[in-house]
């Protein structure tokens, strides 16, 4: 999907972008960088430095056809909203309406936006549910509530699916000191700087703090749900400021904690009810306040160390005072140059007053030159200075001030100075104004041209890339779609079986094998295969006997058999689960022309797809483990065992992978005791379970009837009789 995130370079937005990127989506960002930082995003994406209320946003929507819009760009400071409510409304209301309009116009599938607990105002009943009466006490809360009303009306009028999330106090890495959760980031910065922590009140006031990665995951879950409307997003737990200080003290010794008077308007306790979002999104917060603070502190400490390193390497920045002095000097420079020119004029006038050069009025040249260089303001100053010099000349000639007031020649000369100053200054000022207007128009046209050129270039790149993929991949889109559907199972056995089909289909290879890796990563067990005769394919591999397996398990990278060694597959890749290698998949039999970088990348993408599907299956199994087994035993429930058996039958039908099904007859032994005995002697790829008649069955992977004798001897027990009931 194409996902547009406004405010994507900011605190919450960058984490949301990380989440969608990790899930394989294309990320686009609109951010004016008022609080965001481009370095918050390190992966490949497309970013636009714009405000969300800018009309040029229409070009972005027109060019990209977004599936999801996550609107997080906002003015987040309550104090700033009180000081400048118009700026708050411009960003939080006008920007939201612009995004709503464009999303409806361009048929966006879902519009997700950030609201806030500030819409509730003061509430006595805790925890606060979504049905509570909203009565915001700040312009920030009012703008957020207005956004909810606009979004609801756009859903009603235009059918745009809108989802609003009322955040509680969000905290985590990349946060600054602004916003509703800023107390933690302020504490972090002061802790690292070894400064006292300042607490307003007794520190027993509580808030509902939620870690930013939990917020990002909830937004991702919301984007993939059919839900709309308003939801609280919180952990539904109250945490006091003193508790935060206590946890921070465990992370790093604190210099001092200073308690001062409670601020006017601060509420004592706040907590949001998250029952609805947990139920409808199938979401729950993963991070406790202790875990979240530790991760946040680690990030802040690392960032501080990097800044200190940069400073010690010679990064010199001008202080605010230096910047102000420099700007002040630039403003005074024309006046200083004017005075210097006047002093030169005065010297020439007084020095050569009685010479033949004295007939030339240097002051007229001075006024004209200053007017041409600096415009009207400095020309008027030159007129004033020249008039003063003219009066001084008359006084030196023996005239007095009173007699000058009756001298028409005197006033005529002053009028000439004023006329020249005004005409020249006004003409130059008007010319400069016209030039500035034209330059501004040219700048706007160039800016728009550059913007449209970037959009055009991006569209061309995407078009060329799609054409290249179509030429190189043939009907790969249909195959990848089919592969995605085949890998949607929540049973690992079915995922592995489907993986063989997927790899053969996408890579056009005749031979595929999948081996599982034991927990010690010392042995590999054959799980699924296609294209090999069963006699030649080893059912287990010792890692230390094969250098390429050792390399894969050590590095986690794909192995390419560039030396074309006979006993090694052409490509072997690890299948990851929770940062460990759960299995390896190998392909062989590629044609020489297909042994290329393109096919290596295609194999990598295919394996990543399989890893993702397998991780989801393992996660599901971990979550439902108590329901998969008979209570207090290692026996799989009948329905779960039947699903695994069906996948083995399917693997045999498609790839001739053998399996052996044994039925147990028990005497003087319970099911649980029998299961414990058999399970302890099985491989990782074998299963023990029940059938619908509550009889114990044993399913042996990659095992034929010829292999049964040594296995039956290994599983032998006086009270357990095992016999093959199905062998394929």
Q: Which of 113, 140, 220, 390 is catalytic?
A: 140
Q: How far is CA 409 from CA 397, 421, 607, in A?
A: 15, 18, 98
Interhelix angle for 638-655 vs 492-507, to 10°?
A: 20
E-assigned strands of 460-579? 511-517, 523-530, 540-542, 559-560, 571-577
Q: How far is CA 359 from CA 348, 362, 390, 393, 518, in A?
A: 12, 9, 13, 13, 107
What's the rounded Cα separation, in Å, for the pair 525 and 540? 5
Local structure of 43: helix, strand or coil: coil
> Pairing state of beta strands 197-200 and 110-116?
unpaired
Alpha helices, H only, 106-196? 139-158, 182-192
What's the rounded Cα separation, in Å, for the pair 268 and 91? 29
Please give the angle made by the CA atoms of 666, 671 and 674, to the nearest 5 degrees.
70
Local structure of 726: helix, strand or coil: strand
What's the rounded Cα separation, in Å, for the pair 28 and 59? 13
What's the rounded Cα separation, in Å, for the pair 4 and 48? 10
What's the rounded Cα separation, in Å, for the pair 515 and 527? 5
Q: For this structure, is 140 an active site residue?
A: yes
Please give the angle made by the CA atoms of 142, 60 and 36, to the nearest 5 degrees.
55
Rounded to 5 degrees, φ, ψ at 138 are -140, 155
Handedness of CA 664, 669, 672, 673 (dihedral sign): negative
Please give the angle made by the CA atoms of 60, 31 and 28, to the nearest 5 degrees.
50
What's the rounded Cα separation, in Å, for the pair 714 and 728? 21
Residues annotated as part of the active site: 140
């Amino acid at each position: 999907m194409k996902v547009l995130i406004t405010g994507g370079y900011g605190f919450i937005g960058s984490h949301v972008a990380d989440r969608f990127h990790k899930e394989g989506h294309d990320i686009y960002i609109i951010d004016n960088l008022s609080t965001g930082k481009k370095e918050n995003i390190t992966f490949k994406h497309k970013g636009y430095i714009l405000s969300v209320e800018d009309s040029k946003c229409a070009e972005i929507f027109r060019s990209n056809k977004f599936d999801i819009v996550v609107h997080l760009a906002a003015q987040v400071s309550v104090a700033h909203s009180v000081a400048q409510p118009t700026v708050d409304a411009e960003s939080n209301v006008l920007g939201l309406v612009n995004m709503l309009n464009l999303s409806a116009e361009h048929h966006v599938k879902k519009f997700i936006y950030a609201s806030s607990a500030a819409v509730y105002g003061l509430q006595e009943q805790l925890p606060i549910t979504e049905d509570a009466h909203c009565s915001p006490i700040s312009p920030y809360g009012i703008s957020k509530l207005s956004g909810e009303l606009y979004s609801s009306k756009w859903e009603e009028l235009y059918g745009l699916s809108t989802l609003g999330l009322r955040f509680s106090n969000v905290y985590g890495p990349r946060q600054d000191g602004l916003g509703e959760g800023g107390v933690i980031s302020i504490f972090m910065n002061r802790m690292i700087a070894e400064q006292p922590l300042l607490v307003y009140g007794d520190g027993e006031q509580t808030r509902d703090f939620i870690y930013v990665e939990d917020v990002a995951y909830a937004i991702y879950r919301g984007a993939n749900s059919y839900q709309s409307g308003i939801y609280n997003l919180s952990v539904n737990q109250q945490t006091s400021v003193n508790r935060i200080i206590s946890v921070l003290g465990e992370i790093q010794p604190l210099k001092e904690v200073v308690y001062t008077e409670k601020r006017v308007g601060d509420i004592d306790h706040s907590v949001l009810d998250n029952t609805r979002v947990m139920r409808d999104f199938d979401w729950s917060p993963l991070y406790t306040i202790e875990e979240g603070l530790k991760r946040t502190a680690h990030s802040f400490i690392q960032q501080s160390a990097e800044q200190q390193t940069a400073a010690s390497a010679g990064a010199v920045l001008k202080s605010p005072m230096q910047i102000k002095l420099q700007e002040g000097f630039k403003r005074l420079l024309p006046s200083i140059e004017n005075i210097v020119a006047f002093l030169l004029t005065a010297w020439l006038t007084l020095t050569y007053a009685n010479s033949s050069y004295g007939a030339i009025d240097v002051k007229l040249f001075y006024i004209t030159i200053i007017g041409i260089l600096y415009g009207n303001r400095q020309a008027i100053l030159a007129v004033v200075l020249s008039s003063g010099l003219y009066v001084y000349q008359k006084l030196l000639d023996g005239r007095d001030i009173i007699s000058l007031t009756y001298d028409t020649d005197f006033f005529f000369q002053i009028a000439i100075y004023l006329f020249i100053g005004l005409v020249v200054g006004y003409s130059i000022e008007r010319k400069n104004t016209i030039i500035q207007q034209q330059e501004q128009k040219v700048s706007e046209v160039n800016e728009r041209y550059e913007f449209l050129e970037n959009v055009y270039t991006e569209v061309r790149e995407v078009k060329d890339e799609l054409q290249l993929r179509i030429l190189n991949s043939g009907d790969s889109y249909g195959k990848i779609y089919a592969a995605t559907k085949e890998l949607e199972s929540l049973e690992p056995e079915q995922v592995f079986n489907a993986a063989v089909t997927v790899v053969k289909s996408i890579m056009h290879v005749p031979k595929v094998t999948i081996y599982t890796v034991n927990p010690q990563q010392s042995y590999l067990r054959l799980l699924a295969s296609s294209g090999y005769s069963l006699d030649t394919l080893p059912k287990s591999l010792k890692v230390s006997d094969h250098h390429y397996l050792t390399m894969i398990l050590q590095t986690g990278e794909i192995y390419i058999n560039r030396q074309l060694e006979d006993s090694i597959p052409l490509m072997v890749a690890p299948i990851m689960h929770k940062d460990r290698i759960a299995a390896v998949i190998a392909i062989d039999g590629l044609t020489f022309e297909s042994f290329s970088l393109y096919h290596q990348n295609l194999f990598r993408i295919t394996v990543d797809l399989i890893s993702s599907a397998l991780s989801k299956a393992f996660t599901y199994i971990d979550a439902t483990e108590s329901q998969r087994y008979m209570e207090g035993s290692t026996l799989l429930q009948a329905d779960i065992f039947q699903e695994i058996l069906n996948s083995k039958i399917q693997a045999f039908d498609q790839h001739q992978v053998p399996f052996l099904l044994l039925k147990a007859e028990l005497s003087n032994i319970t099911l649980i005791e029998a299961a414990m005995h058999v399970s302890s002697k099985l491989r990782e790829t074998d299963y023990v379970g029940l059938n619908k008649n509550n009889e114990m069955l044993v399913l042996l992977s990659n095992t034929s009837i010829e292999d049964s004798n040594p296995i039956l001897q290994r599983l032998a027990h006086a009270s357990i009789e095992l016999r093959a009931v199905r062998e394929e």
